[in-house]
């Protein structure tokens, strides 16, 4: 294979979302037509650190050469055909070190960045395009600081990558959340219950705020504001009594916390970024609502339907926005490469495509602006002036 202009590597890291395959397709189609060769790194940063640098070794589990035929076949589908992992090569536990490197890297935690740099050189990669959230992209920043030509594409259904109004996966997540809640309404109404729906959102509450703002729920609790369960119970009883069908709905971000409490985890096991798997706050909220409801409902208990949406909102095909934006992001990345520019994050800001220095990912946090957007007395979004606000209302404050 020849590449007159050079070689571009592309990978996807972190959680899967609809829109990753359209992004891979956009990068590949444009790159091939501009005279580049494209290598797809498999399983995110894991594939890049696991390569065996021997000419005849079968590295098909770690990377593949991409063609129009390959990306066209996958480009309209959800997930990522390159596969993904939650790997950070600078903090690899001994048990996760690739077998051929275990004699060299045998500490409890190991930095395999030297291997990643050698693997990039061995593959002849001139530009690297990681697609991911702030964890995946933060390692991209690390590589950029080591001299690698990196261009990042933001992806996360939480929509919390700093610097951009939009991350791939968010629109499909919001659309699915609204649709699934509407499906659950019939059961909530039939039994006159509270409906508690736990949604993704570790540090940012956008995935709870936007569906609530769109009318899918009466209330939402988010990571940015520790909520009072008595206050939530009283509000939901009020909402239920106003509803002719006698039910009310609250969206609970997985990272939401009780007043005086902390995040709720499924286990103590942590990934390479130091994150334990969240989940279970919806169960606790449901139990407390059931327990406290008689206090605000004339002594009568209100039962609860409790549902964690989880992977239902991240699986399946992308919606229109998550088909269009990845296409534009991929082409924007190629625009930068053709200009010889790197160390950038492609973004959407104020309704326009642009790019920012990639270290914006590690320089700040993107969260709901509670004072501006969240009504702490009513536990729901504010509905204030929408003039000149972005498409999804809440965004970065850079």
Choose the catalytic residue: 16, 135, 158, 359: 158
Instruction: Please state, in angstroms and as integers, the Cα–Cα distance from residue 136 to each residue in 14, 45, 93, 299, 362, following that order.
Output: 6, 8, 17, 50, 11
In the annotation, is 158 catalytic?
yes
- C-alpha–C-alpha distance, residues 72 and 25, integer Å: 7
CA angle 345, 149, 9 (to 5 degrees): 90
For residue 86, which of 269, 347, 353, 334 has the smallest C-alpha distance? 269
Are 358 and 125 spatial neighbours (Cβ–Cβ below 8 Å)?
A: no
Are 290 and 250 spatial neighbours (Cβ–Cβ below 8 Å)?
A: no
- C-alpha–C-alpha distance, residues 120 and 129, integer Å: 12
- C-alpha–C-alpha distance, residues 202 and 15, integer Å: 13
Instruction: Please state, in angstroms and as integers, the Cα–Cα distance from residue 96 to each residue in 92, 137, 221, 235, 392, following that order.
Output: 6, 20, 36, 47, 39
Q: Is 6 left (phi over 0), alpha (psi -120 to 50) or beta?
A: left
Contacts of 264 (CB under 8 A, 6+ apart): 257, 278, 279, 280, 281, 284
Q: Which tokens hold the place of 129?
A: 């395009």
For residue 194, which of 249, 276, 139 has the smallest C-alpha distance? 249
* Residue linked to tokens 């992806």: 155
* Residue linked to tokens 């208990």: 301
For residue 229, which of 308, 299, 307, 291 has the smallest C-alpha distance? 291
Are 206 and 133 spatial neighbours (Cβ–Cβ below 8 Å)?
A: no
Q: Which tokens hold the place of 371?
A: 């004072």
Catalytic residues: 158
């Amino acid at each position: 294979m020849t590449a007159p202009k050079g070689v571009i590597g592309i990978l996807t890291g972190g959680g899967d979302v609809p829109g990753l395959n359209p992004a891979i397709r956009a990068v590949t189609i444009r790159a091939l037509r501009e005279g580049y060769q494209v290598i797809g790194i498999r399983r995110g940063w894991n594939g890049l650190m696991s390569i065996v640098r021997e000419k005849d070794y079968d590295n098909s589990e770690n990377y593949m050469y991409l063609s129009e035929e390959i990306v066209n076949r996958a480009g309209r589908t959800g997930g990522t055909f390159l596969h993904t992992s939650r790997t950070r090569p600078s903090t690899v536990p001994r048990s996760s070190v690739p077998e051929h490197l275990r004699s060299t890297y045998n500490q409890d935690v190991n930095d395999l960045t030297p291997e990643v740099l050698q693997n990039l050189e061995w593959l002849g990669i001139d530009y690297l395009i990681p697609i991911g959230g702030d964890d995946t992209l933060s390692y991209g920043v690390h590589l950029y600081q080591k001299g690698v030509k990196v261009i990042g594409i933001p992806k996360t259904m939480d929509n919390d990558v700093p610097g951009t109004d939009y991350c791939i996966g968010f629109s499909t997540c919001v659309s699915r959340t609204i649709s699934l809640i509407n499906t659950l309404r019939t059961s909530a109404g039939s039994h006159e219950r509270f409906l508690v729906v736990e949604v993704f959102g570790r540090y940012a509450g956008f995935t709870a705020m936007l569906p609530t703002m769109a009318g899918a729920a009466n209330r939402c609790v988010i990571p940015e504001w520790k909520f009072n369960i008595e206050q939530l119970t009283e509000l939901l009883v009020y909402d239920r009594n106003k509803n002719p069908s006698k039910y009310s709905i609250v969206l609970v971000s997985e990272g939401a916390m009780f007043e005086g409490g902390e995040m709720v985890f499924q286990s103590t096991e942590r990934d390479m970024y130091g994150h334990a798997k969240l989940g279970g706050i919806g169960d606790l909220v449901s139990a407390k609502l059931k327990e406290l409801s008689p206090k605000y409902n004339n002594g009568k208990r209100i039962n609860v339907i409790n549902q964690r949406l989880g992977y239902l909102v991240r699986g399946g095909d992308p919606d229109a926005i998550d088909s269009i934006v990845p296409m534009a992001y991929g082409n924007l990345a190629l625009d930068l490469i053709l200009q010889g520019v790197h160390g950038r994050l492609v973004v959407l800001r104020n309704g326009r495509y642009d790019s920012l220095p990639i270290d914006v990912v590690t320089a700040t946090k993107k969260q709901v602006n509670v004072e501006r957007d969240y009504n702490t007395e009513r536990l729901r979004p504010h509905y204030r002036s929408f003039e000149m606000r972005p498409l999804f209302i809440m965004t970065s404050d850079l």
